[in-house]
Each structure stands twice: as structure tokens, then as C-alpha cells.
A and B are shown apart, each in its own frame.
Chain A
Amino acid sequence: GAVVSQHPSRVICKSGTSVKIECRSLDFQATTMFWYRQFPKKSLMLMATSNEGSKATYEQGVEKDKFLINHASLTLSTLTVTSAHPEDSSFYICSASGQGEYEQYFGPGTRLTVT
């Protein structure tokens, strides 16, 4: 089956710094990648959709300048949380879909803690 990885699995950063999370499709070409945020004991909320080589489409209420998404290749998308604050602490999950496919394959998630 299709495998998606995320790195790092957990990260702690200081308030005001930036942190980058990588999402990779290991055995297929991901034309579309999605970034979700999940608060404790809550559901997944879509933050943005990115297509390879195009600018990401952000959901309403998600700050584009704070959550920078880059999808420069068919196997890699990155989410950069800029000037992180404690309220950005959360579990971030990516998923990926191949060309013409509807099914999303999920990464294992990244736990971000901002101190």
C-alpha cells in the first residue's frame, strides 16, 4: 500500500522561532497533499490543500503567512510554522493522493510543542 512519512515525529521549539515539518510519499507520486491540524481529543481540521508546483489553497481562517506550505516535488510537501507561539502547539497530519485518485494516504503525524 501507499506509504506517507512525516518528519519529525515530534518537535519542541521556542516561542518566536520557525519550525518545518516534512511530508513525503515514499512509493507513489503525490499530485495533491493535504495538511490537517488536530487538537487533543478533537477531530482533524483541514488547513490547506497543495498541488505539486502550485500555490497552496488555504481554508478559511488559516493564516497563509503563518503556515507556509511548499509542494515543490511529487514526493515532498513542507509545512513551516513561522514565528511559532504556544497556541500553535498541536498535532499536524499530512495526507497525499496520487494523480486521478480520490483516496488519501495519511502520514503518522507530527506533534509540535511551542514553549
Chain B
Amino acid sequence: AQSVTQPDIHITVSEGASLELRCNYSYGATPYLFWYVQSPGQGLQLLLKYFSGDTLVQGIKGFEAEFKRSQSSFNLRKPSVHWSDAAEYFCAVRSRGNTPLVFGKGTRLSVIA
């Protein structure tokens, strides 16, 4: 069955430290890949997406993600975290064809001073 796994439920990082959030998917072919962020009481905001081409994609707010086909992964990174980055982050995958967007369970990011 198709699935999206975010292994880390909760991550705490210090402000200014680097960040990597993991995402693995299980699909037959390379799907379309997305990262979304959700602040408390808000909807989801698209950070970045990967469809094809360069495997390192840049997004908003200084985030980037790297697609690794061999590992079926699409990890999100940021070189220096700001306190305002504290939120929940969702990896999402959509396979080619008329299928809905499937989300991982999310990773909650806490940022400490």
C-alpha cells in the first residue's frame, strides 16, 4: 500500500542550529512530493514541491528539500532555525494519476533559545 512515513513525531532544536526533518514514501513510481507547514490554529502552507529535474529544491522561508530516489526519501532541511519556525511539518505525496494527496503524520518542531 502507498504510504508516507515521518519517523520523528517531535524534534527540538536550538535557535540558529540546523534542521533536518525526515520523510520516506512507499510508492511504485516517483510521485509528486510536497512539504507543508502548519502553525497552531492555522491551515497548511506549502513550503516546497518536487515534480522532476534537480533533486534539490528550494522553498520559502529558507527551507530546502532533497529527493533521493534510491532511499525513497524527501528530507526537509534548513541551515539555521528561527524561533518562528516552531510549527508542525507535513510531508505529502501524490502518485501520478487521479489520486488524492496523502500526508504523513507530521513532525512537531520546537525551537529553544
Task: Say whether A and B bind each other.
Answer: no
